[in-house]
Amino acid sequence: MGGSIGVGLLGLVLSVTAQCSLSPGDSNYRIDVHSHAVPDVWRAALVQAGYPVKNGTLYTDGFPVSNWTLEGHLEAMTANSVNYTTLSISAPGVTFLAHDATKAKNLARKVNLAMHQYTQQHPEKLGAMCLLPLPHVKGAIAEIKFCLDTLGFDGVGMYTNSNGTYLGDSSLDPIFELLQERNATVFVHPAAPGCESAGMGWPSPMTEYPFDSVRAMENMLLSGQRASYPNVTMIFPHGGGAMPYLATRIAGMSSLPFLGGLSVPESLAQLAGYYFDTASATSAIQLNAMKSFIGIDRILIGTDYPYVPVAQSEPALAAIQTNGNFTSTEMAQINSKNTLSVFPRISAKLGW
């Protein structure tokens, strides 16, 4: 028994040592663009707002919120062979405070300061994506400037919709103007749509989240918002939801006169111009769909920790190369090089 424990500890030490010895240019250096923090101040606000707590577990959008700790997050990174991760806040963010702009702004600021504290404790391992008090545009603009200029965050977090205001809505144009000026990178997390009856009470993350990513990208295409702000790098999780499978249909219908008569090739190019992460998207079907649709240079690693536990994410990450039939060179791109190309702040921080 003691011998097996010793071997296990030795294996863990060797694993940690190997991770620490990697540099961002190495093929096995792994950056996770999709992982979540659950600061105490945010959890308390959700409970106060009336989100259900069942048997001591908090639920949002019908899904349990993990009892997250910073130490546990770092341990999960080691288990998943992740060297650096960008922390963000999952849905609903602070959109449950849409009725009170001041409260939404104050809570977003407190959460951003908490994430900043985490990154300062482990700057070589952790970065953060700014939480915005959407749908309040003026507050969101102020928070972007604070996060990028004062806190030095890696990028900005947004949602497919914020209390029903979808990406593509013209009210968000001032935000995209600022993001365009900054050449900012945005991580777009799905949120539950307003039509809750469609899910018949099942958790929204199961299917509504992936489809809400499609809705957001479609809205940005049809409204012209994406075409107006092409310098904003945008990442959608979960393999882009259903977009690789629906893009041709969307582009074809968008070419009809009553929908604007858009060019099919240009629409397809726009929809394929986003970056997709691998969170819950590591099957052969999903990876090959992504590879065919957006190309290898737009696929990024995502784990969705802690909402996806290590017991699922660890084998899923290990299966990516085989399921996607990727070469070692291509895996180097997916593991970190693609991410470093769109996050100059991470590149500068890591000295790559």
Query: Each residue of 67-121: pLDDT tens digit?
Result: 999 999 999 999 999 999 999 999 999 999 999 999 999 999 999 999 999 999 9
| pLDDT tens figures, 131-171 | 999 999 999 999 999 999 999 999 999 999 999 999 999 99
| Amino acid identity, position 238 | H
| Residue 199 binned pLDDT confidence (cut-offs 50, 70, 90) | low
What residues contact residue 87 under an 8 Å CB cut-off, 6+ apart?
Answer: 35, 36, 37, 73, 115, 118, 119, 126, 127, 128, 129
Residue 10 in domain: no
Q: Which residues sit opposite 36 in a β-bridge?
A: 88
The CA distance from 314 to 305, in Å, is 11
Could you tell me whether strands 161-162 and 53-54 are parallel, antiparallel, or unpaired per DSSP bridges?
unpaired
If one counts the domains in the chain, the total is: 1
Tokens in use for 29? Answer: 């250096």
Which residues, 6+ apart, have CB-to-CB distance to 259 below 8 Å? 222, 253
pLDDT at 18: 46
Pairwise CA distance, residues 331 & 301, whole Å = 10
How confident is the model over 306-349, as pLDDT tens digits?
Answer: 999 999 999 999 999 999 999 999 999 999 999 999 999 999 99
Q: Is residue 186 part of a domain?
A: yes
Question: Would 17 be classed as within a structural domain?
Answer: no
| Residue 302, in any domain of the structure | yes
Q: What is the pLDDT of residue 22?
A: 79
Annotate 267-305 with DSSP letters as a single string: HHHHHTTSEEE-TT--SHHHHHHHHHHT-GGGEE----B
What pTM did the predictor assign?
A: 0.91
Average pLDDT over residues 252-256: 97
Q: What is the mean pLDDT of the chain?
A: 92
Host domain of residue 177: 29-350
Residue 169: how many other CB atoms lie within 10 Å: 16
Name 54's Cβ contacts closer than 8 Å, sequence gap at least 6: none
Distance CA 252, CA 96 (A): 36
Q: Is residue 19 part of a domain?
A: no
- Report if residue 340 sits inside a domain: yes
Compute the distance between CA of residue 327 and CA of residue 342 in angstroms, rounded to an integer.
22
Q: Write out the H or E segment, with its range, that includes residue 60.
A: strand 57-60
Residue 268 sits in a domain whose CATH number is 3.20.20.140
pLDDT digits (tens, 9 = 90+) for 16-39: 444 556 777 687 999 999 999 999
Helix %, strand %, coil % of the chain (to 5): 55, 15, 30
Secondary structure of residue 194 in the 3-state scheme? coil
Residue 238 lies in a domain: yes
Paired strand residues for 189? 159
- Angstrom CA distances, 244 to 89, 105, 238, 289, 298, stand at 25, 35, 11, 6, 13
CA 266, CA 345: separation in Å to the nearest integer? Answer: 30
- Quick count: other Cβ atoms within 10 Å of Cβ 112? 25
Residue 170, domain member (yes or no): yes
Confidence at residue 1, expressed as pLDDT on a 0 to 100 scale? 39
Q: Per-residue confidence at 15, pLDDT binned at 50, 70, 90?
A: very low
Omega cis (within 30) before 39: no
Q: What is the amino acid identity at position 102?
A: T
